[in-house]
Amino acid sequence: MPKSSAQVDSLCRQAQDPAHAAGAAVANPINLTIDDIPVAVPEGSTILQAASVAGLRIPTLCNHPDLRAGGHCRVCVVEIVGQRGLHAACTYPATPGLKVVTSSPSVRKARRHVIDLLLANHYGECNTCSRNRNCELQSLAREYGVDAFRFGQPAAPRHAIDHTSASIVRDMNKCVLCRRCVRTCNELQDVGCLAIEGRGAKSHITTFGDKPLASVVCISCGQCINRCPTGALSEADQTDEIWAMLDDPSKHVVIQTAPSPRAAIGECFGLPPGTALTFEMNTAIKRIGFDAVFDTNFSADLTIIEEGTELLQRLHGALVRQDPEVRLPQLTSCSPGWIKYIEHFYPDQLGLLSSAKSPQQMFGSVIKTYYAEQHGIDAKDIVSVALMPCTAKKFECDRPEMADSGHKDVDFALTARELAKMVREAGIDLPHLPKSDFDDPFETPTGSGVIFGATGGVMEAALRTVIELVTGRKVEDFYENANIVPVRGIEGVRLIELPIPEVGPVPELLRHLFDDFEWLRGATLRVGVAHGTANARKVMDDIKKGGVFSTCHFIEVMACPGGCLGGGGQPIPTSPEIRAARARAIYGEDASYAVRKSHENPQIARIYQEFLEEGPGGHKAHELLHTTYTPRGKFIS
């Protein structure tokens, strides 16, 4: 550990998942009784948590395992023997000797009244709602026997639907004022785009100045969607546009699929979290009508080569040339939500970002150039679709700088939920399909590309390659089975030191840039990992004040908790346990691949030989695979 390990430990403690932090203490157990069942729970637990330990379910609408308790909806009310009135189980602390009743006539009646009142303010048709059959309000209404609108229902919408964002649609007619979106935006992501305004019956969720979502500081991460219990928030659905492209015989429609949706889409079909359907999904996509299905792992490997080369160039500039213009630490640029976050909140630090495009956008450039040339297709007739775990990818597609191919690099970004909708619409039973491989010429996946989906995965993939290129030895000589475990984990921020005791000859791939690596012999590479933009803020503030992370050379930042596998376009619901199951699927798939390092992907070697002839970091690679970003600041006119 570095000398300033106390600073790192402090940051890590601050960055713990709220759900885990809530139940972290195990000393001084509290003994209480719930429905005549004795329960012992850690000090600091709530009645709701104690009921869960006892195997009892208390319904709730505003509570979420990723967020601190709010006590807003009152669906979770319970009786406490000896006390007047009913109490919210999600906020009432478990205390010694407490006797709780979770189901009594008064409790059931109160919960039913709360649900009836919510429905009295809820406008919208369930049959046409994106959350139909996956709506928590709908489920509670069914559970509590709501068969009529006892307090009436709105006859017309009271709010205009906000379609201004490229990523997110807001329909406040369906809002139940649970405040999950507000707490997600403030607690989990530290963006503060959404807020509660007014009191009592005049309460409503709003943005700054009640402006449209596209006119405020929103990073398009979609984390609010994943925690909204109803259809008040959803992704900007592009499925109809894609169906139109598939039905147009003049269009050649291709899709790239990222690893995270493949580890999660099964949840949309009733399978347990972490059920990988990579190759069954390929079959479904081809049956839908796509002309080719490619693996985003290819461009993830390409990203590693370009980003790793950039890191070595920056290190050479700082250590050998001692160039004061070189900016370190280099920050990853794969996550579009993170990119938008730094553009808004730290525009003066954009120079730290890697210039490498995300894998989605790199693949888009390659498809509209190299692939088009290889197959003799006019790039204007290619429709490039990306299956991503992320709603911010929709915004990224529309960035004006993402057109270096002479065309829009990626035309559409589909979420896992949108693809599941298309699969069902086509009458396809995804879980029971036969398996299909990816298509040429990008059919060879690597384990490094797969682990991009988990927090720390980009860093691990980069280190597998950089260690081998610099030392000339197999990464397995340093880490068992090439698993660089120190960069894995659920901690919000991590810092790791990797000594470089020896160096090898410069590999052919990089000889156009370096004569030797002697300048790295005996150096210690310091790398960091952060996930969730609230944790990114801790790292960025630490860098600005010259703290421990300012001494890093390379830092991976992902906008979403858990990384891409917790993205805003993934199946709903989400929780720490669900994200952990998806991560296990991703690492399991990585372990199954014969090729697990980006620089060993034969298709990567081929594209540098046939198309990017100047090699990594060359002029053509920079023209197509790299970009710059826009300082936006916190105020939008």
Question: Which positions are annotated as active-site residues?
Answer: 307, 310, 334, 354, 393, 396, 401, 564
Q: Do 274 and 584 meet the contact criterion of CB atoms below 8 Å apart?
A: yes
Helix 602-610 and helix 297-319: axis angle, to 10°?
70
Query: Which one-letter amino acid corresponds to residue 143?
Result: E
For 286-304, b where at least 16 C-beta lie within 10 A, e where not — what string? Answer: bebebbbbbbbbbbbbbbb
Distance CA 403, CA 67 (A): 39
Q: Which residue has the tokens 């954009």?
A: 350
Strands 252-257 and 382-388: parallel
Q: Are 392 and 559 in contact (CB under 8 A)?
A: yes
What residue type is 247 in one-letter code?
D
- Helix, strand, coil shares of the chain, percent, nearest 5, are 45, 15, 45
Residue reference for tokens 């989990």? 188
Helix axes 533-544, 336-345, angle to 10 degrees: 50
* Three-class HEC string of 550-593: HHCCEEEEECCCCCHHHCCCCCCCCCHHHHHHHHHHHHHHHHHC
> What's the order of all strands across the beta sheet hosting 554-558?
330-331, 554-558, 524-531, 493-499
Close Cβ partners of 24 (under 8 Å, ≥ 6 residues apart): 16
- Residue 162 to residue 185: CA distance in whole angstroms: 18
Dihedral pair phi/psi, residue 135, rounded to 5°: -115, 130
H or E element in which residue 433 lies: none
Residue 292: partners with Cβ closer than 8 Å, 6 or more residues away: 254, 255, 439
Partner residues linked to 626 by β-bridges:
356
Identify the sign of the CA torsion 286, 291, 296, 298. positive
Determine the Cα–Cα distance for residues 93 and 89; give it in Å rounded to an integer.
8
HSE value, Cβ hemisphere, 13 Å, CA-based, for 456: 18
Classify residue 615 as left (phi > 0), alpha (psi -120 to 50) or beta: left
> Counting every residue, how long is the chain?
637
DSSP β-bridge partners for residue 201: none
* Per-residue H/E/C for 466-478: HHHHHHCCCHHHC
Alpha carbons within 13 A on the beta-carbon side of 599: 23
The SS3 assignment for 494 reads: strand
Q: Mapping DSSP to helix (H, G, I), strand (E, B) and coil, where does residue 255 land?
A: strand
Coil, strand or helix at 428: coil
